[in-house]
Structure 1
Amino acid sequence: MNKIDVVDILKKSDALLEGHFLLSSGKHSNRYIQCAKVLRFPQYAKDVLSTVVEQIKDLEIDLVVGPAMGGVIVSYELGRQLNKETVFTERKDGVMELRRGFEVKPGARIIIAEDVVTTGKSTIETKKALEALGGEVIGVACIANRTNDDIGMPIYSAIKLDIQVHDAHECPLCKEGNIALVKPGSREFKELGM
């Protein structure tokens, strides 16, 4: 297999964005990775996630679970390449849960699939929901790992990105006032009025 250049694929698909972004944490950043732009091309999804499959193929995995929305396509593609069952969790009344008749067998070894791991919020919520059903979460597989914190499980990623993040009141882009703030993600912000 040829070496996959993940950064090149992210750039070709316009997935690495430059600007002034409001993150789901409420913090601001000058760059954002929009994995949906990569995942719209099946060959790019296959290529980028094949680098993650190489890292996890020898783990004993029974089930791949992707939190909706960002993890759905990622979990499908990982499951396809690993030949494993894939399902997804979703929020109901603000709580991440397994729905639609999906099941977790007691003791099932699970890998959570995400597009990007930044704070680990949805990953940790998904882990909690799966463990409550008797599953054993053995890690998270993602396209981009942006976290600098330990989220309590191994992270297997196609790329590790170090993107500067600022509290809103300390954001240099806000202070400059030249670039409008954009909220590119899917999570709702009730407390921020978005």
Structure 2
Amino acid sequence: MTQRTEPTGTRLQNALWRHLLCWVGVCLLSGCAPYQLGNTALFPQNIRTVHVPIIRNATFREDLGVRLTEAVIKEIELRTPYKATADPLADTVLRCEVVNETKRVLTENDADYVRALDAAIQVRASWSDRQGRLLMKNSIVPTDDLTILFSQDERFVPEAGQSIDTATQKAIEDLANRIVSQMEARW
């Protein structure tokens, strides 16, 4: 009994055709819905650009608005498929305002020296398209307010070498992350 062998090139071609047919079958059986992968699936697809004006600051710490603007733009560029732009005619506009900034004493030692403090920042934000429709909605507590209030606290201990500036910067970064997270599409 003789065994017939195929040339190596023919075997490779047959294997490639089998893999191609398997992929076509998987694509046909996977349904009609256009599934998306990655972070672009989390955000509305009809938006390409976001205008982030300099964030207004109603507190006495004059640099908070500029620092938060930089952090929000950085988060948008890193986590979303959108392009942050200076053009006020962008597809959407993200407006924010720092409404409050506080520092609270948490603990003191026996001699009344401060041991731990909290730095807190509150920001109002709204995201709308060119027609003025709100894109960011408070899904937890629906209100008639057009903005969402974000609040972030960061603890710092001066005895350990931590400062109000490092705590404030961490709070700003966390706020930017939370604001951009609210830009995700709702299921």
TM, length-normalised to structure 2: 0.27
- Bigger RCO (CA 8 Å, 6+ sep): 1
TM, length-normalised to structure 1: 0.26
Larger radius of gyration between Structure 1 and Structure 2: 2
